[in-house]
A and B are shown apart, each in its own frame.
Chain A
Amino acid sequence: MTTAASQQADVQKEESMLLQKAMIGANFDALSTAHEEGKKVSSTFVPGNLNELLMCFDFVRNLPEINALQSAMRKKSGGYVMEAERSGHSEDVCSYVKSDLGMMAKGQLGPTGKPLPTPDVLLLSYTGCFTFMKWFELVRDQYDCETAMLHVPYQADGKITDNMRDFVVMQLKEQVIPTLERVSGVKFDIDRLRENLRESAKAEDDLVWVLQSAKNRPSPIDAYFGGIYYCGPIFSAFRGSKEATAYYVALRKEVADRIEQGLGPVTPEGVMDEERIRLVVEGPPNWTHFRDFWKMFYDEGAVVVASSYTKVGGVYDYGFRHDPDNPIETLADYCLGCYTNHSLPARVDMLCDYMEEYNADGFLNNSIKSCNSFSAGQLLMLREIEERTGKPAGFIETDLVDPRYFSPANVKNRLESYFQMIEQKKARGDSRTAA
């Protein structure tokens, strides 16, 4: 592939990507005019995102993580992070938080350049990440709006207990829903929730089909870089909406066509020619150099066939679907089941399953400075996975939205060495050879 092709004008996009771009753009537009139009605005996080519930109250839905990553992809987050640090936030803490706070300090313009409204309610779904709790305390400090706190217990022993589920359900019924009713002025209608959940389940079926299409050879998708696009609607302001369902129907058809034609994933430079290396990747991506980062993979014929990050907003490939017959309980199970709410042993099991099921050649860990929820323990996970699967494992370090922590030369160098190692092992026909 030519380097010229990597320039913006030549970037190739799938139809579904264009569809999603329009959806995201429309949501930012809706956010910018929400208060003028008399609508209320909610803010919440991707893991434990109760989008179906928020839709019941007609909130226009804002997700600060999405704002931060969108700002990073538009090269804006670096300035926001430094702005937050200038105002006293430590260089050691999460760059999503600092990007969000810096954006607020610099006039609260969203990634598309349009103003973001002050939220009317913060739905603090404390799911799988300690930082979320402090993040919304910090945001609350600035906005002075209501906060609905939902504490989601951690699945430390690899299972959801009745006590955990009851606790989440109780909070939803006794506190979260009444707060959302009060702030929105809309009475809760459980049938409306059921309808939204029905839509979610349809989209989830299609998403799982798309993600599992990577079991094909060649894989018709990249389940990390491409997978992030595929998860976009379901992780953000759209799960439970008819437009999300339509998006996933279109996406599924697109991927089915590629399988039929024996095509690989679509990259920013077109369809990948040759699949040489199949990887499972753990950890979030870097957003500030997203395309450069992806290019380091597809230039070497490396395709990601499964990733943990595409499970951060919900683990669906082990069978969970939102259940309209048990609407509140299913919201609890959804939150409890998000990837970073799983114990380390459960995460290791899941990643080993992926290595096997997706016939991967190697396991790569992208360790993120900002994200202790993901990162703490990853070096042990790496060893465990290498030992259990016998496949080579690699480790790189980047950050979410702080461009100072993406070192292109180092990352590329490490990746190239790692890919060479995999190819040498493959050439020798090695399998389960780890000491």
Chain B
Amino acid sequence: MALENIVERCQDLYEDLDFTSVRAWKEAGANRKVIGHMPVYVPRELIHAAGMLPVGILGGGDQLDVIHGDAYYQSYICRIPRSTIELAITGRLDCLDGMLFPSTCDVIRNLSGMWQLKFQDKLIRYFDVPQNFHRDIGGVFYTRELQGFRDALSDLAGHEISDDDIRASIDLYNKNRQVIAELYAYRSAEPWQVPTPEVYLLMRAGMLLPVDEHTQLVHDYIAAAKAVERPVRDNCRVVINGLFCEQPPLGLLKSIEMAGCYVVDDDFMLVARWLLHEVPMDGDPIHNLSDAFITYSSETSCKYVPNKKDKGKYLVDSVRRSGAEGVIFASPSFCDPALLDRPMLQNALAAHGIPYTAFKFAENSGQLQPIREQAGTFADSIKLWSAA
């Protein structure tokens, strides 16, 4: 498939707030079920193993006119829950048979209770992941939680989910993680070939498409991107951080690149990159998923860092690994995890002499010129420092 066709397909999926592709998948087979999930992490392998489609619910972006949702939230609460409620109230999420709310923050946690009050006919689950990363403690708790989740999905599916079903799903998601890692490595090596708005759209497509289809799409994109030559610009290389839950308007990502920054790493759609290595295929698959979370999962502001010396290390590592020259903190307004974490991450960067800049956004931010100017000034200052 040609590059522009792949991007166009992803763009269509991104803009479709009626979840047409999900509805089509559901209608293509008898008794198919769909489970929605909020950011940041749920084990999609189990949903897939139940024969269901996991669908990332990421708010309404800048295309949705939020009318009802604002009546559910005070002005000082972030935007994603209100547009998510709007999606639900307007019937756009009717195609979901269940909804998962990970332990991302208090707002997403409480949204699970709102769902319990308003949408009682669905499977609703607050998905509590451990903040204790000892195998014998947090690992034991999480393994049991996963087993409970598996049982709940079995009840909804009306059939058992076998270990082999889960192994097969793990295999598919391992392949998906692998191709996404290839995509990120390619962008890091040749960011002019892989514009970040396109990476973002590809990752968003993975929130809607069946995993094997998404894996193929990313393969196709990489092949198509390698087949064209795009101009190399005199941009600086940056990592952007803070986009793990509420989504940036696509225009914000374009503005950053237009301002002279190549984004070489990010924290988009972490659910797809949460587990940092392949999950083993042999042995108890529930245990393997649990152990992967405990021992080699990604880091973000929603996660506790047990040792002070490790705070911010992941971001410094990301800068080093991707050859970035600085970090842009793009935090959603009123986002507790991102905004509380930011000073500590900034300290970690400062300790390593890594420049950074920070701004806030909302998913429906329309005035992007100030962000473009800030990013441009940041890029210029990096170039000046480098020259010195």
Contacts and interface: CB of A to CB of B under 8 A. Distances in A.
Interface of A: 87-90, 92-94, 97, 126, 129-131, 133-135, 137-138, 140-141, 144, 147, 149, 151, 153-154, 156-157, 163-164, 166-167, 170-171, 174-175, 343-345, 347-348, 367, 369, 372-373, 375-380, 384, 397
Given A154-B128, A380-B72, A90 B113 contact: no
A156 B107 CA distance: 13
A157 B76 CA distance: 27
B113 A130 contact: no
B128 A375 contact: no
Contact of B346 (A88, A153, A377): A88
B150 to A, nearest CB: 14
Nearest to A91: B339
A177 to B, nearest CB: 13
A316 B126 CA distance: 25
A149 B71 contact: no
A148 to B, nearest CB: 10
A135 B336 contact: no
A138 B312 CA distance: 12
Given A134-B340, A163-B145, A377-B111, A348 B74 contact: no
Contacts of B360: 90, 92
Given A92-B335, A130-B106, A347-B113, 10 more contacts: A87-B343, A92-B333, A93-B339, A144-B308, A149-B132, A163-B144, A166-B140, A376-B107, A377-B114, A380-B117
B73 A141 contact: no
A377 B340 contact: no
Q: Interface SS of chain B: helix, strand, loop or mixed?
A: helix
A88 B347 CA distance: 11
Closest 3 CB pairs between A and B?
Answer: A344-B113, A156-B126, A134-B340
Contacts of A93: 336, 339-340
B141 interface: yes
B100 to A, nearest CB: 11
A77 B71 CA distance: 31
A348 B116 CA distance: 12
Contacts of B109: 130, 154, 156, 376
A343 B101 CA distance: 13
Contacts of A171: 132, 137
Interface in B9-63: none
B353 interface: no
Nearest to A345: B116
A156 B100 CA distance: 12
A110 to B, nearest CB: 23
Contacts of B305: 137
A373 B337 CA distance: 13
A170 B132 CA distance: 11
Nearest to A174: B137
B241 interface: no
5 contacts: A93-B340, A137-B341, A156-B128, A163-B145, A174-B134
Contact of A149 (B117, B128, B131, B140): B131
B343 A138 contact: yes
Contacts of B103: 154
B83 interface: no
A373 to B, nearest CB: 4
A151 B125 CA distance: 19
A167 B137 contact: yes
B158 interface: no
A299 B349 CA distance: 54
A134 B308 contact: no
A409 B335 CA distance: 29
Nearest to A158: B116
B337 A372 contact: no
A376 B137 contact: no
Interface string B98-110: 0000010111011
Contacts of A131: 106, 336, 340
Contact of B117 (A153, A164, A345, A372): A345
B349 to A, nearest CB: 12
